[in-house]
Amino acid sequence: MKPMTALLAIGLCVGYLAAPRATNAGLSGIDLSRVEAAPNPDASLPLALLLQGDLGEPKPLQQWLGSVPAVWILADFTCKTLCGPIVTVVSDALRHSGLRPGTNFRLIVVGLDPKDTAADAATMKRAQVGEDDDLFQQTFFLRGSPSGIAALANVFGFRALYDSAHDQFAHPAAAFVVTPAGHVARALSPLALTPADLRLALVEAGQGRVGSWVDHVRLMCYGFDPASGTYTAAIGRILAFAAALTMLALGLFILILFRHEPATPGK
């Protein structure tokens, strides 16, 4: 099991095992071991896939992307354990990231269960995202066909199992940052997510169009740790950046000295 997958699977077990269980479990430990979130590097979403929005209007996935990076979550709209907290943690982190909804990012939540209705989506959106602010307006709860959802989950490397005994999904705790072109940039764990991590991931996915120059300097000095799904200070990068600044400053100092050197008499 990959490091990031292992962390995400822990999130799954915490949420899934906390649910009321019958005497005979619907899924075994072996079943749960196959649940993971492990997207291939730079995987691309199916841009022509039709997804329905809040009002039921089907649009190609490309239109839902817009022109800004987005955070994607796959969730069961009627889940009573893990899905709600995931959406809440991510939306709270976005609110405190310092980035502007719509201008710098959007949040997209796709329903895992094809049986979920528009009313189920609206209920979860109000409960977990809140209402009447910019983030609420730039959050889209989408539904698709069984084959469409399966295709989308496959691109994300998102492997969930349906427990028919309890009518719920066993799935990993994961959030994905996607570029405006539809490439999967990062898989993040909501278990350790901070506003700073989410900001850096969106700045990185924005490909120079999101964030301040300070954010881009931080990206030079930070590295993404797939084992924890967070950004950590990379000592090697920090030292290299500091050395480059030192050399630049020294070069400028020498240039200034040469330009102000007194002319030799007689020349």
Q: In this predicted model, what pLDDT tens digit does every residue of 116-154 receive, in sequence order?
A: 999 999 999 999 998 778 999 999 999 999 999 999 998
Which domains does the chain show, CATH number per domain? 3-208 (3.40.30.10)
Residues in contact with 8: Cβ distance below 8 Å, sequence separation at least 6, in sequence order: 36, 37, 172, 173, 174, 187, 189, 229
Q: In this predicted model, which residue has the larger pLDDT, 6 or 177?
A: 177
pLDDT of 50 reads: 96
Which tens digits make up the pLDDT trace of 104-126? 999 999 999 989 999 999 999 99
pTM over 0.85: no
Q: Say if residues 210 and 195 touch (Cβ distance below 8 Å).
A: no
Q: Confidence class of residue 38 from pLDDT cuts 50, 70 and 90?
A: confident
pLDDT of 99 reads: 93
Q: In this predicted model, which residue has the larger pLDDT, 247 or 51?
A: 51
CA distance 201 to 119: 31
Residues 197-210 have a mean pLDDT of 81
